[in-house]
């Protein structure tokens, strides 16, 4: 008997990325734990095993890095994140600060501005009729409302997208385009760090709330800067991609869009379903600290384990009719944001951003159609669209 199930599937290849859901089905059929020979990594891809790995932080560490690189063996490309790429007890303090800065009270105050910006941007897109949905709608919206909330100045915000590509590109294996990209945009990391400084952040924004935690002695000034960097790293591309994929899912399922249009209060649940059905965060890595066992498979110490959230979300053992996009589905145990102590700290922010967007969209737009081929972005850490040609028909006034 072989001591493990292996596969030649390459999750970073264009074929896999074009239709990950077929590959996930294959992986789920192969077994609970599979060794991916192309990259010398293990993977889990069922709901229960993803849950197990992600909630056992004593075995499956984040200090080895959130991507494929093993920080216990290789040098990280930048100073590791002080929330994503650390374990307890260090993690607990920084996580608490970020959770407070994203509390329900803070979000309630932000909601009005999200609604106003969403309504305006959807109206402008609707008036054009034919649009390239990513560059004209699903990218500009998060790129405005998120940095506004953090308290970032207006200038050069496109650098946030460049930095996002750097951050999420680093989740995958090193490839030539990435090295070139890093070289071309080598000034951007410095720009980001400058934007993370206390005096660069507007009064009343979430960035200043992080610095207030430093004033209270909960974190150091340097840690505050690093937590603002986390916002600027993880807060833009993730929502750009998830909102774009949700809009495509709605456009490709006119029966579902009709339900949303008739009842815009379904907006939040529609996005919840899209986060399960087809979302930006398809995978995240852990690194084993000790020898361990998952579903009967022994895994050695210091090994990378890739957790396919996108596959866990399509696991029929947890979700009924998992391949159906149903915006009225009652989702129990959303895993699209990860779970456990590293589950997305900004998830309520993302939900609010998307809720306001799809509510405005449903209120104003009678029908939405995909009019040409859509294109996927190529960097490995996230799934998202770079092209989404759409025809929007506004409701009659």
Q: Which residues bind ligand OVM (CB under 6 A)?
A: 81, 83-84, 167, 229-230, 233-234
Nearer to ligand OVM, 66 or 126 (CB): 66
Say whether 60 sits in a helix, a strand or coil: strand
The helix (run of H) or strand (run of E) holding residue 55 is: helix 47-55
Nearer to ligand OVM, 167 or 224 (CB): 167
Q: Nearest distance from residue 111's CB to ligand OVM, in Å?
A: 23
Nearer to ligand OVM, 84 or 134 (CB): 84
Nearer to ligand OVM, 134 or 232 (CB): 232
Nearer to ligand OVM, 230 or 242 (CB): 230
In the complex, which residue's CB is closest to ligand OVM? 81
Would you tell me how many other CB atoms lie within 10 Å of the CB of residue 157?
17
Burial class (CB in 10 A: 0-12, 13-18, 19+), 182: middle
Nearer to ligand OVM, 47 or 231 (CB): 231
Name beta bridge partners: 307. Answer: 44, 284
Closest residue by Cα to residue 293 from 303, 285, 278, 280? 303
> Apex CA 175: angle with CA 382 and CA 237, to 5°?
20
Q: Nearest distance from residue 101's CB to ligand OVM, in Å?
A: 13
Nearer to ligand OVM, 41 or 284 (CB): 284
What is the rounded radius of gyration, in angstroms, for the C-alpha atoms of the chain? 21
Residues 343 and 337 sit within 8 Å (Cβ to Cβ)? yes
Q: Nearest distance from residue 275's CB to ligand OVM, in Å?
A: 14
Q: Nearest distance from residue 76's CB to ligand OVM, in Å?
A: 11
Q: Nearest distance from residue 86's CB to ligand OVM, in Å?
A: 10
Q: Nearest distance from residue 46's CB to ligand OVM, in Å?
A: 21
Q: Nearest distance from residue 321's CB to ligand OVM, in Å?
A: 29
CA distances from 313 to 12, 13, 48, 144, 300 (A): 19, 21, 11, 29, 27
Contacts of residue 165, defined as CB under 8 A and 6 or more positions apart, other chains included, come to 181, 237, 379
d(CA 215, CA 208): 10
Q: Nearest distance from residue 336's CB to ligand OVM, in Å?
A: 12
DSSP, residue by residue, 189-229: HHHHHHHTSGGGS-TTSHHHHHHHHHHTTSS-HHHHHHHHH
Nearer to ligand OVM, 118 or 166 (CB): 166
């Amino acid at each position: 008997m072989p001591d493990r199930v292996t596969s030649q599937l390459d999750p970073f290849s264009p074929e896999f990325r074009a239709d990950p859901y077929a590959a996930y089905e294959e992986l789920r059929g192969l077994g609970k734990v599979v060794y991916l020979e192309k990259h010398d990594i293990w993977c889990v891809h069922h709901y229960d095993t993803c849950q197990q790995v992600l909630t056992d932080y004593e075995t499956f560490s984040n200090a080895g890095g959130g991507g494929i690189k093993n920080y216990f063996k290789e040098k990280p490309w930048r100073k590791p994140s002080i929330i994503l790429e650390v374990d307890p007890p260090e993690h607990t303090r920084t996580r608490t600060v970020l959770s407070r800065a994203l509390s329900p009270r803070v979000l309630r105050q932000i909601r009005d501005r999200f609604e106003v910006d969403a309504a305006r941007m959807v109206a402008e897109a609707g008036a054009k009729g034919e649009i390239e949905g990513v560059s004209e709608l699903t990218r500009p919206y998060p790129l405005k409302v998120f940095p506004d909330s953090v308290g970032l100045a207006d200038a050069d915000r496109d650098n946030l997208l460049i930095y996002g590509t750097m951050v999420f590109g680093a989740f995958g294996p090193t490839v030539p385009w990435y090295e070139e990209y890093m070289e071309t945009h080598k000034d951007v990391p410095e720009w980001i760090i400058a934007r993370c400084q206390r005096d660069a952040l507007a009064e009343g924004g979430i960035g200043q709330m992080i610095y207030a935690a430093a004033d209270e002695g909960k974190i150091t000034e340097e840690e505050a800067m690093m937590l603002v960097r986390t916002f600027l790293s993880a807060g833009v591309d993730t929502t750009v991609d998830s909102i774009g994929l949700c809009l495509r899912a709605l456009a490709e399922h006119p029966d579902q869009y009709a339900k949303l249009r008739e009842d815009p209060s379904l907006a939040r649940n529609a996005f919840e379903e899209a986060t399960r059905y087809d979302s930006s965060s398809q995978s995240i890595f852990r690194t084993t600290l000790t020898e361990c066992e998952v579903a009967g498979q022994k895994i050695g110490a210091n090994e990378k384990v890739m957790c396919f959230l996108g596959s866990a979300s399509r696991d029929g053992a947890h979700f009924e009719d998992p391949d159906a996009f149903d915006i009225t589905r009652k989702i129990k145990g959303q895993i699209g944001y990860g779970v456990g102590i590293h589950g997305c700290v900004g998830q309520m922010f993302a939900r609010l951003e998307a809720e306001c967007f799809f509510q405005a969209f449903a209120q104003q737009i009678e029908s939405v159609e995909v009019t040409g081929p859509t294109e996927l972005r190529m960097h490995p850490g996230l799934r998202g669209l770079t092209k989404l040609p759409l025809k929007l028909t506004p409701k009659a006034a």
